[in-house]
Amino acid sequence: MSLDVDVRHQQGGFTLQAKFQSDGRLTALFGRSGAGKSTLINVIGGLIHPVRGRIVVNGRILFDSTQRISIPRHRRRIGCVFQEGRLFPHLNVRQNLLFGRWFTPIARRVTRLDDVVSLLGIEQLLGRRPVTLSGGEKQRVAIGRALLADPELLLMDEPLASLDDERKAEIYPYIERLRDDGHVPIVFVTHSVAEIARLATSIVVLTDGQVTASGPAADILRNSSLFSQFGPAEAGAVIDAHVLAQDDEFSLTVLQAKSGTLTVPRLARTIGASLRLRLRARDVMVSLEKPQALSALNVLPGHIVALETSGASVDVTIDCAGDLVVARLTRKSVHDLGLRPGLAVHAIIKGVAFEGDAAAVPPASSP
Ligand SMILES: Nc1ncnc2c1ncn2[C@@H]1O[C@H](COP(=O)(O)OP(=O)(O)OP(=O)(O)O)[C@@H](O)[C@H]1O
């Protein structure tokens, strides 16, 4: 998969100058309100014509100002999902879904209605009108409608922003499934660090119309300076794991990551299911010795690979068998412990965040 964007556009006093490449299955566009995320989505989707530039999706040129190529919007084969589902109120769910393929030539209609309905779990909703659906159900139908157009790119502009946490949690697994099916690249606009930590394979950070960082999700999320605008609490590491075991006696779930096992309050996942964990830098402590009598369940051995000072705090990056974990410590602690690159340490994980099915291990100091 590939997405290659290099565009410049002027609207009023705002200049969008965005250049990035992504090979990710789900590319998150991330930035403050007014950073230009929607403008960029509209440029990619063909709603806005940039002054100049080039947009190439999986080798197909959608726009190239030097070659004077600009594929019209209806021929870009792009599916869109917006914050408010924008379903047709007078059509039932089945009719709304089928409307998605109306503009797709018959020869290109590959996706089957039944497959989309079961992928999104909306079998029970087919005869109902949008007004009778919950916010989460409407968004699932909107996603289904976009998929049935057999798009070559799916643009999702804050598709979950109007939903509460419970409804969001309802939709995440479907978006993950779409991402992991790998049939269609997804560009996803969001303000939420937790959302990109869970969903993104690549991240593009926009600031005042410029791309200030882009790359694989795990690399970008580790860089706390990028997330300073959203509060220092959010920065941290993202690691992949799968469910190794369920502990019924203590109602815990044991996860296997590259760096070792992590035990968290019970998650409703099957053995083998893969998931992403977010280890916030503020939830990680560092010990020189292997801690013995400690209530924290999760201790990962590793060695320090980087120290980055910002004011009174220092982000210490620890390589734990290939998983890079970040701990935010005071400068004083770093000095007192003599922390330096190469030093063997233990990362004590006080909390693990999962968007949707929140889980946190007890703090190290609790009995
Ligand atoms: N039609 C327009 N004419 C002039 N300026 C515009 C127009 N549309 C948007 N802007 C400006 O362009 C900038 C980027 O807006 P955009 O909607 O792309 O930001 P965003 O990152 O999507 O914000 P949000 O997260 O609030 O949706 C803003 O300063 C906005 O005021």
Q: Return d(Cα 130, Cα 143) in angstroms, integer.
A: 14
| Residues pairing with 97 in the sheet | none
**For the whole model, what pTM was predicted?**
0.72
Alpha carbon of 49 to ligand 1 centroid (Å) = 15
User: Atom 6, ligand 1: which residue's CA is nearest?
Assistant: 11
Q: How does residue 6 score in pLDDT terms, banded at 50, 70 and 90? A: very high
Q: Return d(Cα 87, Cα 128) in angstroms, integer.
A: 12
3-state secondary structure of 136: helix
Average confidence (pLDDT) over 288-305: 80
User: Atom 25, ligand 1: which residue's CA is nearest?
Assistant: 33
Alpha carbon of 39 to ligand 1 centroid (Å) = 6
Alpha carbon of 215 to ligand 1 centroid (Å) = 24
In a domain, 231, yes or no: no
User: Atom 13, ligand 1: which residue's CA is nearest?
Assistant: 34
Same domain, 85 and 25: yes
Q: How does residue 224 score in pLDDT terms, banded at 50, 70 and 90? A: low
User: Strands 186-190 and 153-157, how do they pair?
Assistant: parallel
Q: Return d(Cα 302, Cα 288) in angstroms, integer.
A: 10
344 CB-near residues (< 8 Å, 6+ apart): 301, 302, 303
Same domain, 180 and 252: no
Mind listing the pLDDT tens digit for each residue in 80-129? 888 877 888 999 999 999 987 877 778 878 888 998 898 888 999 999 99
* In the predicted structure, residue 337 carries a pLDDT above the cut 60: yes
Longest dimension (CA), the chain: 69
Which has the closest alpha carbon to 261: 275, 242, 235, 289?
242
- The enclosing domain of 198 has a CATH number of 3.40.50.300
Same domain, 24 and 154: yes
Same domain, 248 and 157: no
Mind listing the pLDDT tens digit for each residue in 186-202? 999 987 777 887 889 99
Choosing from 37, 188, 190 the residue with most ligand 1 atoms within 8 A of its CB, the one to mutate for a pocket test is: 37
Q: Return d(Cα 252, Cα 297) in angstroms, integer.
A: 11
- The enclosing domain of 307 has a CATH number of 2.40.50.100
As a whole number, the mean pLDDT across the chain is 85
Q: Ligand 1: which atom is nearest the Cα of residue 14?
A: 12
In a domain, 267, yes or no: yes
pLDDT at 361: 32
Contact assessment for residue 160 and residue 188, using Cβ atoms and an 8 Å cutoff: no
Total domains in the chain come to 2
Pocket, ligand 1, Cβ cutoff 6 A: 11-12, 14, 31, 33-39
Alpha carbon of 147 to ligand 1 centroid (Å) = 27
In a domain, 363, yes or no: no
Alpha carbon of 87 to ligand 1 centroid (Å) = 24
Q: Return d(Cα 219, Cα 204) in angstroms, integer.
A: 11
Domain that holds residue 270: 237-349
In a domain, 199, yes or no: yes
Average confidence (pLDDT) over 214-225: 79
Choosing from 38, 193, 204 the residue with most ligand 1 atoms within 8 A of its CB, the one to mutate for a pocket test is: 38
ipTM: 0.94
Mind listing the pLDDT tens digit for each residue in 90-101? 999 999 999 878
* Structure tokens, 271: 């053995």
In a domain, 154, yes or no: yes
Same domain, 80 and 11: yes
In a domain, 85, yes or no: yes
In a domain, 229, yes or no: no
pLDDT at 280: 85
